[in-house]
Amino acid sequence: MDTTTGPRPGRARPERIVAARGARTDQLVAVNVDSTRLGPALGGCRVRHYRTWQDGLADAARLSAAMTGKAALAGLDHGGGKTVVALDGSFARGRADPRWRDLLADVADAVEQFRGGYVTGPDIGTGPADMDVIGERTAHVLCRTEAAGGSGDSSVPTALGVDASIDAVCAHLWPARDFSTLSFAVHGLGHVGELVAARLAAAGARLVVTDLDESRRALAGTWGATWVAPEQALVAPVDVLVPCAVGGILTPRTVGELQARAVVGAANNQLDDDATALLLHARGITWAPDTVVSAGGIVSSVAREREGATVDEARRRVRTIGARLARLLEAATVSGEPPLHEARREVDRLLATGRSALSGAAR
Ligand SMILES: NC(=O)c1ccc[n+]([C@@H]2O[C@H](COP(=O)([O-])OP(=O)(O)OC[C@H]3O[C@@H](n4cnc5c(N)ncnc54)[C@H](O)[C@@H]3O)[C@@H](O)[C@H]2O)c1
């Protein structure tokens, strides 16, 4: 493989991009390391079709920059990176293609070029079993299956981080109320959303739920929740909207129609544009930045696989997401600015100093 940009001088971001066609499969494999200022870069491996390979590179750049913020705000001694494999038309069958293992070997070779400066993991299009295959060629991989010695599926710790975040937001806005007096709309009942909704239901909250997948409707019955269409869930008259499906759901239009007082959930990249954070703020809606809320998976896998923590210790560290979010919300209240701006400032400070007041908070 060829390195398309070498290590860049100083601390410019992105620090290094390796993008080349895999030796075995001829598919474009791009690893974008945004920052190693706080430690080796973390970021999953996304495998999908893009309109053009340039779109794949742009996705890798955007996602790796977001990972820098996510790792820093989680109090981890890690930076951000991302692998994107932009499949061409010859790979129409995706993971059913007989060359799938070869594709993962191409990814492992790209990861190895960073000599530990970048650590990959699952993302859209890959899962723990794929990490086992990548792990045959490189040690710099997280979330292999538990059978292979990894920490496996990250949805459980991610949901735990969302739980801690919901607790923090509710304590911030309604210190005197418990869940039995609050209502939530959970948008998306997949791996994470189902766990989050189940806990809210068990705590006696009034629930509105939805999913594009009609087979998830039966869950609503088991919780005594109200099932609505996806677009209705976004604007339901509830206290908290919990996005656990897809990104881009917070737009000028949807924000104008929101009835919730707070938005806190796992979905990545909830804002269509950063400026939408200002619209939420202007409407008095508390938006918990998804980079903070959805970090449970990386906090847990780093704790267990890189630092040897027990499952209980990893869970304890994931729950610290609540305390970090609470501090962010407090700071935003004091400054009168959206939490997103506080989060940005914190990331900039961390990267400038290489160290954080929050550093160690995940320990
Ligand atoms: N799983 C993790 O560890 C993790 C970590 C960080 C962030 N996230 C993010 O959290 C979100 C949920 O993750 P997951 O692992 O539960 O994914 P998932 O694929 O298991 O679940 C997503 C669910 O959302 C539903 N959905 C998709 N589009 C929808 C729409 N427009 N309206 C309503 N429902 C829709 C799907 O049918 C599916 O049931 C994703 O945005 C993911 O990127 C997940």
Domain ranges, ordered by start, for the chain: 16-147, 155-295+324-353
Which of ligand 1's atoms lies nearest the C-alpha of 210? 33
Query: Between the CA of residue 171 and those of 179, 197, 242, 282, 326, what are the distances in Å?
Result: 10, 18, 16, 21, 9
Q: Is 82 a catalytic residue?
A: yes
User: Across residues 274-278, what is the average pLDDT?
Assistant: 97
The Å distance, Cα 136 to ligand 1 centre, comes to 28
Bridge partners, 322 (sequence order): none
Measure the CA–CA gap between 125 and 104, rounded to whole angstroms.
11
Task: Please tell me the number of Cα atoms within 13 Å of 248 on its side-chain side.
Answer: 1
The Å distance, Cα 248 to ligand 1 centre, comes to 12
User: Across residues 35-59, what is the average pLDDT?
Assistant: 96
Say whether pLDDT at 97 is over 70.
yes
pLDDT at res. 118: 98
Measured from the CB, is residue 158 less than 6 Å from ligand 1? yes
pLDDT at res. 13: 87
* The domains spanning 16-147 and 155-295+324-353 adopt the same CATH topology: yes
Nearest to 40 by CA among 307, 321, 287: 307
Which of ligand 1's atoms lies nearest the C-alpha of 290? 7
Measured from the CB, is residue 27 less than 6 Å from ligand 1? no
Measured from the CB, is residue 193 less than 6 Å from ligand 1? yes
Say whether pLDDT at 4 is over 70.
no
Record the pTM.
0.93
Can you say whether residue 214 is alpha, beta or left, with left for phi > 0 and alpha for psi between -120 and 50 degrees?
Answer: alpha
User: Across residues 326-331, what is the average pLDDT?
Assistant: 97
pLDDT at res. 10: 46
Contact 144, 132 (CB under 8 A): yes
Please give the CATH architecture assigned to the domain spanning 155-295+324-353: 3-Layer(aba) Sandwich (3.40)
Which of ligand 1's atoms lies nearest the C-alpha of 158? 3
Query: Between the CA of residue 123 and those of 2, 83, 251, 332, what are the distances in Å?
Result: 24, 9, 24, 31
The Å distance, Cα 313 to ligand 1 centre, comes to 26
For the record, the structure tokens of 75 come out as: 């109090």
Say whether pLDDT at 358 is over 50.
no
The Å distance, Cα 194 to ligand 1 centre, comes to 10
pLDDT at res. 94: 86
Predicted-assembly ipTM surpassing the 0.95 threshold: yes
Measured from the CB, is residue 189 less than 6 Å from ligand 1? yes
Catalytic position from the list 13, 78, 82, 344: 82
Measured from the CB, is residue 299 less than 6 Å from ligand 1? no
Please give the CATH architecture assigned to the domain spanning 16-147: 3-Layer(aba) Sandwich (3.40)
Say whether pLDDT at 1 is over 50.
no
For the record, the structure tokens of 220 come out as: 């609503």
Which of ligand 1's atoms lies nearest the C-alpha of 249? 31
Give alpha helix (H) positions in the chain.
53-73, 100-112, 128-134, 155-173, 191-202, 217-223, 230-234, 252-257, 276-282, 290-293, 296-301, 311-335, 339-353
User: Across residues 234-242, what is the average pLDDT?
Assistant: 98
The Å distance, Cα 247 to ligand 1 centre, comes to 9
pLDDT at res. 5: 53
